[in-house]
Structure 1
Amino acid sequence: MSTGRSNTSPALRALKFTGSALSLVAMSAAALAALVLIIVPLLTGSQTYSVLTNSMAPKYAPGTFLVVKPAPADTLQVGDVITYQIESGDPTVITHRIIGVGAGQSGERVFTTQGDNNDLADEFPVQEVQIRGKLSYAVPYVGFIANGLGNSDRGAIAQWAAVGLLGYGIVLLVRGSLEKKRRGTEPELDAVLLDMPARIDTPAQERDGSFPHLHGTDVSLMGDDPLLHDCDHCDHETSSRHAAKSVAV
């Protein structure tokens, strides 16, 4: 007996496998994006920025998404990339690399910065109060999307995006689990169907007790009533509907 599983064409099985693989890739990408772009910045108290100019190219080209984590000024050193305000209290910021560390008139630390793609250092030293944080990591091209969202709505949109990405991942997980469970039950169904014996219900043959096409077949498959045979040395009841014809003695 054939089943729907055995009749599935190789092309259809390949299509299902491809769909499952694409779903897994999409789920992994969604989880990674939510982790890198939203969850980690929120958990670490980091701020996100987008590169707009070529001053830090090619490593941090325009459109790069920057995650900047707050850091004490006394932990900063030459080679660190920092984001700082052009003027204290002004929201406009610059992200450049520290090329020198010094002391101000009152003994506070000041930093000399320069863009990787610039020939000259920045005109004014950076004071501690101007520093917003140290670059934690960067993601290329994602900054273009962040710029399109705008600075004012970015926080709320990021939270909703996190919920959407996580929800999408959960849906894919549940769908994959249900699909795996459904496939796991199919072999059991096949076994039940294949192990069921064929029932023969031929009234004419049952009446005369003949089953010519079941030569050598176990009679226990025919039903609950045994098939009786006449013999010379036994005294069987022949009232069963499956009993053989009576023999006069």
Structure 2
Amino acid sequence: MSGRRKAEAPVSPLGFLGTALSYLALCVAALAALVLVVIPLVTGSQTYSVLTSSMAPKYAPGTFLVVKPVPFDELRVGDVITFQIESGSSAVITHRITAISPSQSGETTFITKGDNNDVEDELPVREVQVRGKLFYAVPFVGFAANALGNSDRGEALQWGAVALMGYGIVSMVRGALAKKRGDGETPESDAGTDDPDSDSTDGETARTAHFIFHREDPLGHDDPVLEECEHCNHDAAHPRDRSHRKPVAV
């Protein structure tokens, strides 16, 4: 049987825009969760925000820094490191190593300098002060972290990432349900009684009626009749001609 599917309604520009924005938000949420939370947690890195212009323009205020712990002897000149201003202090600085030199006691120390500063830092950096090497940086994200404060920053970032991932999951589920509803429409049959173009069921009915019409008794008798040929030829000679036959009542 032939059939055709309902004509699908054209997608409106606003609907298309909404779908595109949903997928864009999903991508942003996944990327933000990956960069701001997942990678730092997996690699054991610490996160910081740039507060001053000492490393501008590359690492301007508001830049979000991910600092990964590395062995002290793997650090080289040119590396950007985060270190405590004083050993045991929570205040840190992120500057670039400009020289490596031994101290009077034979301990290796670093000479550091901010990219935007004219002079090197006054005090050398000891191994115990180093928190790690810069892994990667994300511009502007640090502004939000600065507004939260140092104490609540890590927890807020985690909750923010969870919220972004939750939004992404909701967007995926809504898209999947909408697609399922669209694919679940059943095709309508063309065999309706009001469809003049129908050529299936109506055609079968017409052929059946035509067949029954020719099987009826041409003389209108209700009783069954036998037909015999007037000529000597068998019925095969006139397979469709009834004019040479006469009815004989049983």
- TM-score band, normalised by shorter chain: 0.7 to 0.9
Cα distance change of structure 1 residues 50 and 228 upon mapping to structure 2, 3 Å threshold: same
In structure 1, distance between residues paired with 2:113 and 2:154: 29
In structure 1, distance between residues paired with 2:208 and 2:178: 41
Residue matched to 1:142? 141
Q: What is the letter of the counterpart of residue 138 of structure 1?
A: A
In structure 1, distance between residues paired with 2:164 and 2:74: 35
Structure (1 or 2) with the larger CA radius of gyration: 2
Q: What is the letter of the counterpart of residue 192 of structure 2?
A: A
Residue matched to 2:218? 232
Q: What is the letter of the counterpart of residue 218 of structure 2?
A: D
- Greater RCO, 1 or 2 (C-alpha within 8 Å, sep 6+): 2
Residue matched to 2:83? 84
Cα distance change of structure 1 residues 124 and 219 upon mapping to structure 2, 3 Å threshold: closer
Q: Which moved more, 1:91-100 or 1:106-115?
A: 106-115
- TM superposition shift of 1:176: 1.2
Residue aligned with 1:165, SS: helix
Alignment of 1:1-249 (within 5 A): 5-6=7-8, 8=9, 10=10, 12-186=11-185, 189=186, 192-193=187-188, 195-199=189-193, 219-221=203-205, 228-229=212-213, 230-232=216-218
Residue matched to 2:231? none
Gaps of 5+ in 1: 201-213, 239-248
- TM superposition shift of 1:178: 1.2
- TM superposition shift of 1:224: 8.7
In structure 2, distance between residues paired with 1:221 and 1:53: 88
In structure 1, distance between residues paired with 2:223 and 2:41: 88
Of Structure 1 and Structure 2, the greater helix share is in 1
TM-score (norm 2): 0.77
Count of residue pairs the alignment pairs up: 216
- TM superposition shift of 1:23: 0.5
1:33-91 per-residue CA deviation (whole Å, 9 max, x = no partner) reads 11101111111111111111111000000111111111111000000000111100111
Residue aligned with 1:168, SS: helix
Runs of 4+ in 1 over 6 A off after TM superposition: 1-4, 222-227, 233-238
In structure 1, distance between residues paired with 2:209 and 2:154: 79
1:145-199 per-residue CA deviation (whole Å, 9 max, x = no partner) reads 000111111222222222212211111111111112222223xx2xx31x24123
Residue aligned with 1:126, SS: coil
Of Structure 1 and Structure 2, the greater strand share is in 2
Identity, % of aligned positions: 56
Q: What is the letter of the counterpart of residue 180 of structure 1?
A: K
